[in-house]
Chains A and B, each alone.
Chain A
């Protein structure tokens, strides 16, 4: 258990509203990631962080922003949600002691109407 929680676990929102998802870790890992999971696509990287205030874009970053003001929290924000952002969102941490292994949170299921 890598001590990763995500909140909320489920959310329904309307098109055009802002949404923030939270990932919290308890083990002080430096690297944190946000992925989305969609049928037929596996997991795709949205953004990642390599330290407090240090973030970078992934494969599908358009429409998303992130922030990391402290080691334990990594926030994903949809500035203006669209139906194409309906997905399951997973947070992950990288365990620096075990050759790049990533450990995943339980996921947030987001429905944008």
Chain B
């Protein structure tokens, strides 16, 4: 069945470092792909999405490109801030939603 596998954490980075969180997927059709962010004590917020191959989603300095050939949707940011500390979830939509297990990011000053 369809599924999402994302990089396990936790990840700790210094402020202004480059961030990559890996996400790969398995799907039989042509899913939409998402990244959600969850700040402590809050619900999940949509960070970015891509609906077809080669699409790039971007928001707040974060980017992810829908790569069908490698079945990946890796999240990147060039320079992280302390305020980016959160848990990040990769997700796939193909009728139902499938979530990765989440990657906790801590950014230290």
Interfacial residues, chain A to chain B (CB-CB below 8 A): 33, 40-45, 58, 90, 92, 99-107
For A107, list chain B residues within 8 Å (CB): 42-43
Instruction: Report whether B32 and A99 are in contact in the complex, using a CB–CB cutoff of 8 Å.
Output: yes
CB distance from A63 to the nearest CB of B (A): 20
User: What is the interface residue range for chain B against chain A?
Assistant: 10 to 19
A-B contacts counted at CB < 8 A amount to 43
Cα A67 to Cα B5 with chains together (Å): 32
Instruction: Report whether B101 and A99 are in contact in the complex, using a CB–CB cutoff of 8 Å.
Output: no
Interfacial residues, chain B to chain A (CB-CB below 8 A): 32, 34, 36, 42-46, 49, 51, 89, 93, 96-97, 99-102
Asked if A103 meets B46 with Cβ closer than 8 Å, knowing A42-B99, A43-B99, A45-B96, the reply is: yes
Q: Dominant SS at the B interface?
A: strand
Which of these, A33, A40, A106, contacts B43 with CB under 8 Å? Answer: A106
- Name which residue of chain A comes closest to B49, CB basis: A101
Starting from the known contacts A43-B99, A100-B93, 17 additional A-B residue pairs (CB-CB under 8 Å) come to: A42-B100, A42-B101, A42-B102, A43-B44, A43-B89, A43-B97, A90-B43, A92-B97, A100-B32, A101-B34, A101-B93, A102-B93, A102-B97, A104-B44, A104-B45, A106-B42, A106-B43
The 17 sampled A-B contact pairs (Cβ below 8 Å) are A41-B101, A42-B89, A42-B99, A42-B102, A45-B97, A58-B96, A99-B93, A100-B93, A101-B32, A101-B34, A101-B46, A101-B49, A102-B97, A104-B43, A104-B44, A106-B42, A107-B43
